Structure 1
Amino acid sequence: MSWSAEEERNQLREQDCLFCKIVHGEMPSTELYSDEQCMAFNDINPVANVHVLIVPRDHVTHLTAATEQHEQLMGHMLRVGARVAKQIGISDNGYRLAINQGVDAGQIVDHLHIHVLGGGQLDNLGTPRGSM
């Protein structure tokens, strides 16, 4: 099988991807949910009292890299977010589902993921740093 240069770069990216390592059991995590499409686990650097990440098992770098083929997966991940919020007891008082797209939005790991944030009052959404 002959790989293109882009396929080789993608393979290397997946091998170095923190979330791919977690999904494949190569790194530990506090797993809260898992199925054939995605996995949910606690963020190791939480920005809220409750901070869970929902990660697709397939390596998709970011939201703009997702295709029409990923639409069902994205809907599934949103439903998993609601399921996990209920499971951990934050659904009644409220929670936030967020996707950071790119560096300016705070995306640190180049693997698409949804943040489930809750467990107390959350700050304003979309306020530029230093403006308050």
Structure 2
Amino acid sequence: MKCIFCHLPENTIVDGNELVCAFYDKYPVTQLHMLIIPKRHVADYFELTQEEIAAMHDLLLCQKARLLRLDGTITGFNVGINVGADAGQTVFHVHMHLIPRRRGDMNDPKGGVRGVIPQKRKY
């Protein structure tokens, strides 16, 4: 089976370097939701090299700054990586979500990423 992230159309890539690239999520949670992926096909974040992890982090910071310049309504971000089917991973090529958040985009955002298990979000 072909990996959809290994065969991205060149015109969908927003930014990148020799190890990683960034593009907009095809099914965004919020406007400007981005994905950052290694160019090397690897399914599990914990199998990335230190160089790939550093490159993903550097691109994450660059894209955060770019999104803040593009959209002054952004007031926060969620950053996440699903590892394994039981954690919700559906495309088995590492991908980091950079999800811009805006004040009022949901009634009570308390708990943030803890919401992956809804009854555990509130504490």
Return the TM-score normalized by structure 1.
0.66
* Mapped partners of 2:83, 2:66: distance in 1: 22
2:14 counterpart SS class: strand
Aligned to 1:94: 76
What residue ranges of structure 1 are gaps of 5+ in the alignment? 1-12
2:45 to 55, 63, 68: 63
1:6-85 equivalences under 5 Å are 16-22=2-8, 27=9, 30-85=12-67
Identity %: 27
Give RMSD over aligned pairs.
2.8
Larger radius of gyration: 1
1:55 counterpart SS class: strand
Aligned positions, number: 113
- For residues 77-118 of structure 1, give each alpha carbon's deviation from its aligned partner in whole angstroms, at most 9, with x where no partner exists: 433443443353369512122111112322111111111101
Return the TM-score normalized by structure 2.
0.70
Residue pair 1:43, 1:51 contacting (<8 A) in 2 also: yes
Which amino acid in 2 is paired with 1:32? V
2:113 counterpart SS class: coil
Which amino acid in 2 is paired with 1:114? M
